[in-house]
Chains A and B, each alone.
Chain A
């Protein structure tokens, strides 16, 4: 028994090595969040300033905006990212033509595999003043809208496009859950004379609820990740008020403007909050969906 376990532990080695080299060792870098970091002096010699970076973070107007944007956008993504795939999975489940069903499924999960660099290019083309969307609006006599420069539209575009990109892929989990539903339930319902809609409401949906709760609670841990790639590829200074999130801000402040200490402080704060949220969501997932790792 003991020697049997040894092999398993040995198999952990490469993973642990990666974890240590790429995740634990770089952790020392967070020290610069508490320093007046100077590349000439380095981490070892830069003066310590305690929590000054964090104090400054709470003083500036921008921090409220970026935290608000981050939470707003990721909440929107989480909600839409639950509702849409579930609805889609249920509707797809009702299709009787197996070939058509597979075809639809393949088509909708394709965008998941494209990067935001490509998709953003497509979106910019579609949403430009003479793009297809505005052409349709123009056809009906509407006013052309500069979507990507509008603070009213931008967060919704981010949420909408993210949902569009991933709902097909997310639906796979639900389709798997649907496949696991005991068919005798449906047969019994048929005998009772239930309509299709009634079967969805009373059988299909309740059976999906544990999966929905699980995925919802787990997504809480990601609430501060509003999606760097996507926003970075789509935004511009005009939509900073509605689209600048923690990650894009840290990128600009830290890498572009070289305020390493401050950017690290922002990132560290995000990580700490994210960590707390992950612990909470893990607890919730354990309690409500009986999901656990340890």
Chain B
């Protein structure tokens, strides 16, 4: 008896405590709302806060950078674990929040913030339970889900009314594709970010000192890469077990990563893992197209000949192969200088140069990034959605230093501390722009004082390196990416997009298995455990196990 009653008591106590915490949670939320809304109207001297929105159209000129009345909205945000603030500042009160209050008359109430996985989980939980803030950044899939669930405010009108010229200019640099991406059924349901396209191009980084020793030219085609790798391996340039070319995953991600073979696939017009147009112009999954088979065949041959890292599939730290001076070539994006820098630390005589690999028609194929991958969404029914537009105008103007006071902001403080967090809003060709500016400054065409603070910093590092080459390797790593590698970004190229970046109904169910099928086959083919012609078996299995269904869905959705 005693036992039983105690069990109940404990259960009751626990339940009670749960209920209590739940209630206090709700109360807090209510008071926040209650406190948040009347405040502006009180400051506005008794006006109701709907009035400004109604008055706005009547007003002659709309200031896209400032709310006429103080505005407040709620959000939650991601904050990197290593983001730091100066003493005394908090996530709720720092230079950015103060700047925003001063310039835009906007205050943002941060419901909570978290980093990494915690953020992912917490935000998904909040979204899953329908508890979304007024404004937040989400990924494309979440954006679509929320849009389809009818939870987002239509921003078409407020965007048209409040957009700032600079904001418009940035969107124009994507040829309108960014805004199109956020438009569903003719309604603009989010403010999309703008990706910097430089991260898409996969270039090949070569040990130039080895090339020079062997009297070879830099690579232009896959055949060159093969020959150079062979020369490196045969002459044991990195000692016994020299690796001609490193490798990583067997796909072509939109954001070029170090060691994956995106650049090599590109030379075959192959884009495994992406939805691209096939020979007949239909949207198809790149991994099952004949171009991918051709590329895999080449990689397989190079692997069998010992030119590609024998153990690439099981390496946990491929960078180490380069840094330890064993590998002569690797594919990577423009910012890969970090491992070149580390290599120089070990081998002062080493030297890297970057090259772009062309296909047999002499064309450089570049699968670009999605124009936008992050979306600022506004909760349906938010009181003053124009505040979100004003916010983003202000954010962009400050980030692009188009306003004198923005220069006073301490650039070393992560922009993640902007109330809604970090989203890239830049020209699609921002890296090229900066590298041009840097080149002009170094050539004396622009005075260093005229540079943006960002480029000025690069300029200082470059100047220091000019005076004492490679003395400060950390500094070298900071600016070098903006010199030679960034110049490659300006080569004429055939740019294409992965045309489908979310998921369909059947994909949700079957994609993981198809992905596994693909990985198993690709690795087995490249490493010689299966004949190349098993690619056809893979294709038919892929189609039979749901691939055809998914392709039909994707085609229907893109049309």
Contacts and interface: CB of A to CB of B under 8 A. Distances in A.
B559 interface: no
Interface stretch (B201-209, B259-267, B435-443, B513-521): B513-521
B509 A16 contact: no
A39 B128 contact: yes
Interface residues of A, number: 43
B14 A16 contact: yes
Interface string B302-340: 000000001101101000000000000000000000000
A9 B513 contact: no
Contacts of A61: 513, 545
A36 B313 CA distance: 35
Given A129-B311, A146-B311, A259-B509, A40 B151 contact: yes
Interface stretch (A90-98, A182-190, A232-240): A232-240
B142 A40 contact: yes
Task: Report the contact-size class of chain B (Cβ under 8 Å from the partner).
Answer: 35 or more
Given A13-B10, A121-B316, A40 B516 contact: no
Given A40-B146, A146-B314, A238 B523 contact: yes
A42 interface: yes
- Among A2, A240, A241, residue most surrounded by chain B Cβ atoms (within 10 Å): A240
B516 A124 contact: no
B497 interface: no
Given A41-B149, A60-B513, A259 B508 contact: yes
A204 B509 CA distance: 56
A176 interface: no
B88 interface: no
A35 B14 CA distance: 29
Contacts of B191: none
Contacts of A40: 127-128, 142, 145-146, 148-149, 151
Contact of A257 (B148, B149, B512): B512
Contacts of A130: 241
B511 A259 contact: yes
Interface of A: 2, 5-6, 9, 12-13, 16-17, 20, 36, 38-45, 56, 60-62, 121, 124, 128-130, 146, 148-149, 236-238, 240-241, 244, 252-253, 256-259, 262
16 contacts: A2-B2, A13-B10, A13-B13, A39-B145, A40-B146, A40-B149, A45-B130, A121-B316, A129-B310, A146-B310, A149-B311, A149-B314, A253-B512, A257-B512, A257-B515, A259-B511
Q: 4 nearest interchain CB pairs?
A: A40-B145, A42-B128, A237-B519, A257-B512
Interface of B: 2-3, 6, 10, 13-14, 124, 127-130, 141-142, 145-146, 148-149, 151, 241, 310-311, 313-314, 316, 503, 508-509, 511-513, 515-516, 519-520, 522-524, 527, 529, 545
